[in-house]
A and B are shown apart, each in its own frame.
Chain A
Amino acid sequence: MTGGERPVEPSVEQSGDRSGAPTVEPRRLHPLTPPARGWVVVAACLGVVVHNVNSGWATPSRLIIGLGVLVPLAFAYGYLSWWFTTFRIEGDDLRIDSGMVFRRTRHVRLSRLQAVDVVRPLVARLFGLAELQLQVAGGDKAEASLSYLGEADAQRLRAELLARAAGVRPDVGEAPEQPLVAVPLSAVVGSVLLSVGTWAALAPSVAILVLAFVLHELAFVFGTLPLFLAAWQFTAGRVIRNFDFTVARSPDGLRLRHGLLEQRHQTVPPGRVQAVRIVQPWLWRLTGWVRVEINVAGYGGKDTDAKETILLPVAPRAVAHGLLGQILPGVAIDTIELIPAPRRARWHDPVGWSAYAYGADAEVFVARSGRFHRILDVIPHAKVQSVRRTQGPWERRLGLATVHLDSTPGPVHVRAARRDAVEADRIVAEQAERSRTGRRGAGTERWIQGASDSSSGSASSLDGGAG
């Protein structure tokens, strides 16, 4: 444990020079980590002090003594756990050791890296820090995070990890990037305004505010605080999250950058996008906008409004389809012929039946649904995890069946709904075959190594990106 007090920077460069060296000196997180992570505790303590300063038991002297004990204790704990947290890169592994009493070692296999995020929450930004989140496929706790690193270190480490994961020399540095789409603020604000959910969330809040003013009952407002929080999340929260949203392409993969207060900088390596969904909420038809969501193994499907799984919060349909052509090379969504569900499906879904359709070409399977909230799901054949056919009692009576193409957890669920039962069997059989051939043609885990010998789509996109 020598050189623990040294700043992180020199050791980063050191390991960069000795590319592929088997043993590397363990590095520590940024020394400002404890205050950046512990500010919540300190703020809570101060809040308690301010709140109780005039109550009986809490005389100022007692409070000051209490603070004088608690805050240093918290700092001591923070710095001890900082001291015992180290990480190092050993070949294909990123090894993270942590824990004071119970030592915990975590190995992250870099060849299995699904995505790397650099997250900078507001407080961390004030300290000039950033968190590195590594998404690895599998299990619930698929995410390993290093919080916090210096901003420059985080960038460098990300480049190094991605380079190692790609199978190139780790000291090549940051890959150049080529911007694809930038979402203007007006579009983000417009998209929020043109959402039924926004007005549904705002209406009760406004009603309560008016009521409170009319009745002079401010307690009303405090009682319904959760409602206001929801309204905030639906409106300003979405604008803040999607502020300055840019999508860029680099040999490392897709780069997404967004956020006003908390900035998130995501990198999804080529071929890691499992499935894509293009959504058009009802009112967005007026402007022709769509939203694009993706499934990436490791991002998981914890909640539907997740900040990580949005590839493009709002854009004209043509732009979205163009972007789709970038992440799934050789796919032209507009040319795929969609086969609608049979007419008798209306007895099952009186409203939505006419929207159900599916189509497939050599690369992807496409399914459409939603009469008002239009959804188009796209999954490459090679990424299909399993194919299912289900038939409920009512579907059975009508001679219909639904075919599901399972993807990794995420917002995208691909299904060809309410097909003719015989047709459904044919879809299952054909899809099993297509996925089999698709898997065979897919590239390796290390995308740059595999680029020379495989003719996969991700490889060709790489050539375009580097050129």
Chain B
Amino acid sequence: MKPADDALAPPDLDWRSVSEQLYRMRRALLFGVCILFAILGGGLLGWLVVWWAGAVFVLGVAGFGAWALPLIRRNQRSWRYAERADDLLIEHGVLLRRLVVVPYGRMQFVDVAAGPLERHFGIATVTLHTASASSDARVRGLPPTEAARLRDRLAALGEARSAGL
């Protein structure tokens, strides 16, 4: 699926994609949730109602998992970002596609966050905060080294191009 933003993205723009680990993490999360649901819901239904109600529930959960798996894959593939001379471009989303352009000079601070699950899969999230609450400038699923590099580069560029409110 080729995004149709050729006007915005000249061919020489260096789009970077995010780590496959993001997909693996979400896959693990999906499996965990599905299994939990299947055991709890299916078990309860099968125990309290009839055994085949439980089996149907488990099948339904499995079907949901099979349906969601490619979506997770596509979502991970949809994440990409590019550093231009004056701003950072982030694009993501399959169903609801979003592109955000954040000028370095508008950055108030940069956040690098990694929860326990993210740490286990060796990824981190870099968030750019502007004075606007709705900027939503976030890059998920970056390897720690890349996250640190991006953070340092953004901080340096932000300082160099800083503009008043």
Contact = CB atoms under 8 A, between A and B. Distances in A.
Interface of A: 112, 114, 137-138, 272, 274, 297, 301, 382-393, 396, 401, 404, 406-409, 413, 421-422, 425-426, 428-429, 431-432, 435-436, 439, 442-445
A394 to B, nearest CB: 10
A82 B102 CA distance: 45
Given A390-B97, A421-B4, A422-B4, A409 B87 contact: no
A432 B105 CA distance: 12
A353 to B, nearest CB: 20
B98 A435 contact: no
Contacts of B8: 425-426, 428-429
B106 interface: yes
A406 B87 CA distance: 15
Interface string B150-165: 0000000000000111
A425 B130 contact: no
B71 to A, nearest CB: 13
A176 to B, nearest CB: 26
Given A422-B4, A436-B86, A390 B98 contact: yes
A386 B98 contact: no
A393 to B, nearest CB: 5
Contacts of B135: 385-386, 388, 406
B95 interface: yes
B130 A385 contact: yes
A388 B98 contact: yes
A100 to B, nearest CB: 33
Contact of B96 (A384, A393, A429): A393
Given A425-B7, A432-B103, A436-B103, A385 B163 contact: no
14 contacts: A138-B108, A297-B165, A382-B163, A386-B101, A387-B100, A388-B99, A388-B136, A389-B97, A391-B96, A391-B98, A408-B133, A409-B132, A425-B8, A428-B101
A274 B163 CA distance: 14
A439 B132 contact: no
A391 B163 CA distance: 30
Contact of B97 (A396, A404, A432): A396
Contacts of A401: 97
Contacts of A442: 163-164
A428 B89 CA distance: 11
Nearest to B109: A138
Given A297-B131, A388-B135, A439 B7 contact: no
Nearest to A114: B165
B114 interface: no
Contacts of A384: 106
Interface in B79-134: 86-87, 95-103, 105-106, 108, 130-134
Interface string B42-62: 000000000000000000000
B96 A428 contact: no
A406 to B, nearest CB: 4
A386 B130 contact: yes
Contacts of B6: 425
Contacts of B7: 422, 425-426, 429
B137 interface: yes
A428 B5 CA distance: 10
Contacts of A138: 108, 131
Given A137-B165, A393-B96, A439-B163, A409 B133 contact: yes
Given A385-B132, A390-B99, A442-B164, 13 more contacts: A137-B165, A382-B163, A389-B97, A390-B97, A390-B98, A391-B96, A407-B132, A408-B165, A422-B7, A425-B5, A432-B101, A436-B86, A436-B87
